[in-house]
Structure 1
């Protein structure tokens, strides 16, 4: 009987994860209300999800705002670049769609392909920013390289993101938990990819007591 009310049993652990996902999603939604801050917000969402929600390291709010502040400027710039690129592509895509000739079909196909590539880059860029220190141009190159090199995982992550996007679009209410839950599912694939790019630890690093939670 006592095991039923044990806070470490699967039921209470799962319930706790749901509450944490709700809390993390609300923080994310609040911090990306200005829209232009969506870059640092997505970076912090991935970091807090991978570290706290998935691996129970640290407090969710503390880890979220730590990553938000640390990556604010680069996340802001990266987010604005993606928003601008998406807006330009959307205009070109609509223009090509309205051209009822061979040129229109060719341009429509090109812009659609570019949209897909940009979407793939967007999936990777903020998780990469949350984990690796690099310049903005190299950040975009890395996101593109990883998305193409691990294309099957990229497609699966894209399906996950689209599913939750449609869920929120159709029913609205899931927005209070969808950001964290979607990121959590993506992290299982993303972390497996990231491990391939992690440098091996030296003896000195192994003895310094640093919590390398991302290697688990």
Structure 2
């Protein structure tokens, strides 16, 4: 009986994760309100989820706002690029949809494919920004190449994201925990990919006191 009240048992550990996911999701939603901050918010969401929610390193709010502040400028620019590109593609997609000709079918197919590519790139974009220091143009290029190179994982992550989007759209209430839970599930695939791009240190090399949590 005493083991049940042990805070380290699976029940309390799981309950704590649920509370943390709820708290992290609320922070994310609040920082998304200005719309233009959705880029740094998504970057911080992934960083705090991968580091604190999944690996129990640091405090969730502290890690979130650390990543939010550190990647604010580049996150805003990247987020606005994605939003603008999505808006333009949506207009073109609707225009092509209304054309009653073979040209319309071809254009509709092209814009649909571009939508899918942009969506796949966006899945990688902000996690990559949270982990690697690179220029914005190279950030988009890297995200595109990763999404194509690891296509099976990309498809699985896309399914996860779309599932939670649909869940929130249909029931609304899940929005209180969906962002963090979605990021958590994505992180299991994304972190496995990231490890392939991080140089592995030899056992005798010193880490210079840096917490290399992402290598675990």
TM-score by length of 2: 0.98
**Residue 210 of structure 1: CA displacement?**
1.3
Deviations 1:164-202 (A, max 9, x none): 000000000000000000000000000000000001226
Q: 1:77 to 1:205 in 2, by over 3 A?
A: farther
- 1:124 match: 124
- Cα separation, 2, equivalents of 1:165 and 1:92: 23
Task: Give the match for residue 100 of structure 1.
Answer: 100
How far is 1:208 from its partner?
1.4
> Aligned partners of 1:152, 1:48: CA distance in 2, in Å?
25
Residues 148 and 2 (structure 1), Cα distance of their counterparts in 2 relative to 1, 3 Å cut = same
Describe the SS at the equivalent of 2:4. helix
Aligned Cα RMSD in Å?
1.0
> Aligned ranges for residues 27-66 of structure 1 at < 5 Å?
27-66=27-66
State the alpha-carbon separation in 1 of the partners of residues 202 and 128 from structure 2. 23
Q: SS in structure 2 opposite 1:206?
A: coil
- TM-score between the two structures when normalised by the length of structure 1: 0.98
* Runs of 4+ in structure 1 over 2 Å off: 200-207
- For 1:78 and 1:29, the matched residues in 2 are separated by 18
Instruction: Note the 1:135-146 alignment, pairs <5 A.
Output: 135-146=135-146
Gaps of 5+ in 2: none
- List alignment gaps of at least 5 residues for structure 1: none
Q: Following the alignment from structure 1 to structure 2, what is the Cα–Cα distance between the partners of residues 210 and 168?
A: 38
